Amino acid sequence: MQQRPMTLVEHIEASERRFPEATGAFTVLMQAIGLACKIISREVNQAGLGKLLGLAGRTNVQGEQVARLDEFANDTLVRTLTRSGSVCALGSEELAVPIRLPPAPETGHYAVVFDPLDGSSNIDVAVSVGTIFGVFRRRSPAEGLGGVEDLLQPASSLVAAGYAIYGSSTVFVYSTGLGVHGFTLDPSLGELLLSHENIRVPARGPYYSCNTGYRDRWPEDVARAVSRFEDGSRSLRYVGSLVADAHRTLLRGGIFIYPPDRSKPEGKLRLLYEAAPLAFLFEQAGGRASDGRQRITEKVPAQLHDRTPLVLGGSEDVALYESALAGDAS
Ligand code: AHM
Ligand code: MG
* pLDDT tens-place string over residues 191-228: 999 999 999 999 999 999 999 999 999 999 999 999 99
Q: How far apart are CA 148 and CA 122, in angstroms?
A: 31
Span 172-182, mean pLDDT? 97
Q: Is 119 in the pocket of ligand 1 (CB under 6 A)?
A: yes
- 57, part of any domain: yes
> What CATH number does residue 302 fall under?
3.40.190.80
* DSSP secondary structure code for residue 56 in this structure: E
Any domain includes 1: no
Q: Does 215 lie in the same domain as 84?
A: no
Last residue of a domain, one of 156, 176, 196: 196
Find out whether the beta carbon of 242 lies less than 6 Å from any atom of ligand 1: yes
Do residue 125 and residue 163 come from a single domain? yes
* pTM of the entire predicted model: 0.94
pLDDT, mean of residues 165-171: 96
Q: What pLDDT does 31 receive?
A: 95
pLDDT > 90: percent of the chain:
81
Both 312 and 236 in a single domain?
Answer: yes
Nearest to 113 by CA among 159, 68, 144: 159
Give residue 116's pLDDT: 97
Does residue 330 lie within any of the structural domains?
no
Structural domain containing residue 28: 8-196
Mean pLDDT of the chain: 92
107 & 172 share domain: yes
Reported confidence tier of residue 235, pLDDT bands at 50, 70, 90: very high
Instruction: Give yes or no for residue 60 CB within 6 A of ligand 1.
Output: no
A 10 A CB-CB count for 168 gives 7
Evaluate whether residue 73 is within a structural domain: yes
- Asked if pLDDT for residue 305 goes beyond 80, the answer is yes
- For ligand 1, atom 2: residue with the closest CA: 118
Total number of domains in the chain: 2
Whether residue 247 has its Cβ less than 6 Å from ligand 1:
no
Which has more confidence, 56 or 117?
117
Q: What is the pLDDT of residue 134?
A: 98
Q: Is 171 helix (H, G, I), strand (E, B) or coil?
A: strand
Judgement on whether residues 103 and 213 belong to the same structural domain of the protein: no
Q: In this model, does residue 50 exceed pLDDT 70?
A: no
202 occurs within a structural domain: no
Is position 3 within any domain? no
